[in-house]
Structures are given as structure tokens and as C-alpha cells.
Amino acid sequence: MQYNKNKFTEAITPLNEEAPVISINKEQTFDYFFRKYYIALCFFAQSIIHNEEEAKDIVQDCFIKLWNSDLEEKKDTVKSFLYTMVRNSCITYIRRKTVLSKGIVYLQNNADNFEYFDELAFAEMVRLVLKHIEALPAKTGIIIKKYYLQGKRHKKIAVELSSTENAIQIQKNRAIKLLRKKLLLFSK
């Protein structure tokens, strides 16, 4: 055990920014870079985004990316790699936050427009219902229009179409079942 500890110490002692640890394993190399740069990177990130917790999260994510990358390939450029990655992650964070803030402001300033969108959605739904009513058999479609769109009762519709109230009610119920199937609004 003493031999490994000495080997680790010897590998780190001559270390500088340009020539990182070569003779130790990935875990030890990663641990070394984490201890050496974590606090400075957190300060760097916080100076950009002005949020300590988010800065720590960004730095941790960058170290995870470093861990998942090939440390051996980056051994000469770990410092610049980490600072660049943290800077880019901070910029991405700020962009997302800006977009979100703009979205919230837009929603607050345009609350009246949402009534418009509700009305638009309702109008589109009515259009679909009317389209399917037009596709019903002729007499059934007429009954549905008279009952729901004109507000007439079964008795008045029966008189206008020379039929019985019972026949009008049966055809209206059939039409409703057909419309439910087509529109899938009330099924299940």
C-alpha cells in the first residue's frame, strides 16, 4: 500500500498545468483535477451566472463530462477544457434563463390573447362537429341541426318533417352515437 501512495505522490509532485498526471489511474487523475479546479471553476461560473447553487451544478456536470471523456487524450489541456466547458455551459444556462424570462413576460403581457386562443380552439371544435353533421344521413343531419342549432323541440321538428316525436328522438340519438364515434369525445 505504501508503494502506491508514494507512486501517486511522485506523479503529482512534478505536475504543472501543461503536463498533468500520466502515471496513475483514471480515478486518481480525476480526483486530482477535481481537487485542483473545482473551487476555482465554481467561482468562475458564479461570476458569470450570479447563482451559487446553479454554478456548482454546472461545474459538477462539466466534471461528469470530463469523467466520461478520454482523460488520456485531454491530459495536456484539462484546465482549458474545463474552463471552456464551464463557460459554454454558463452561456447556455443564461440563454435558457433569458428565453424563459421572455416567455413569462410575454405570457403576462398577453393574457388577453389566451382568451382569443380559447375561442379559436372552440371555433375549430365547432367546425369539426359541423363537418361531421354534414356527413350524417340527410334526414338525421337535418334533425340534429334543427334540435341543437335552431333550438327546436322534438314535437316541432316532427311536425315540420311529417314524422312522430318518437321517430325524431330515435334518429337524433343515432346521430349522437355516430358523432361520438367520429369525434371520440364521449367514448369510453
pLDDT at 19: 43
Residue with the three cell numbers 455551459: 89
pTM of the predicted protein model: 0.47
Do the domain assignments include residue 162?
A: yes
Please provide the average confidence, as pLDDT, over all residues in the chain: 78
Say if residue 52 is in the same domain as residue 129: no
Asked whether 23 and 7 are in contact (CB, 8 A), the reply is yes
Domain assignment of residue 175, yes or no: yes
Helices 78-109 and 111-134: crossing angle in degrees, nearest 10, is: 70
Q: Are both 100 and 122 inside the same structural domain? A: no
Q: Would you say residue 188 lies in a domain?
A: no
- From the list 45, 11, 44, the residue with the least C-alpha distance to 27 is 11
Residue 75 pLDDT: 65
Q: Are residues 162 and 94 in the same domain?
A: no
103 in a structural domain? yes
d(CA 51, CA 45): 8
Q: Are residues 90 and 29 in the same domain?
A: yes
Q: Which stretch of 15-19, 27-31, 59-63, 168-172 has the lowest confidence by average pLDDT? A: 15-19
Nearest CA to 140 out of 171, 166, 117 is that of 171
Nine-digit cell at 4?
A: 502506491
102 and 133 both lie in a single domain: no
Of the residues 81, 109, 137, the one at which a domain ends? 109
Tens of pLDDT, residue by residue over 47-101, are 999 999 999 999 999 999 888 887 666 667 888 889 999 999 999 898 888 887 7
Is pLDDT above 60 for 129? yes
Which residue from 82, 88, 73 is spatially nearest to 37, judged by alpha carbons?
82
**How many structural domains compose the chain?**
2
Q: Could you give the percent of the chain with pLDDT greater than 70? A: 77
Span 160-181, average pLDDT: 88
* Contact criterion met (CB below 8 Å) for 147 and 170: no
Looking at the domain assignment, is residue 41 inside a domain? yes
The domain boundary, picked from 79, 109, 139, lies at 109
Do both 94 and 158 map to the same domain?
no
Domain final position from 49, 81, 109 = 109
pLDDT 10s digits, 109-119: 776 666 666 77
Domain that includes residue 82, residue range: 2-109
In this structure, are 142 and 122 located in the same domain? yes
Same domain, 7 and 94: yes
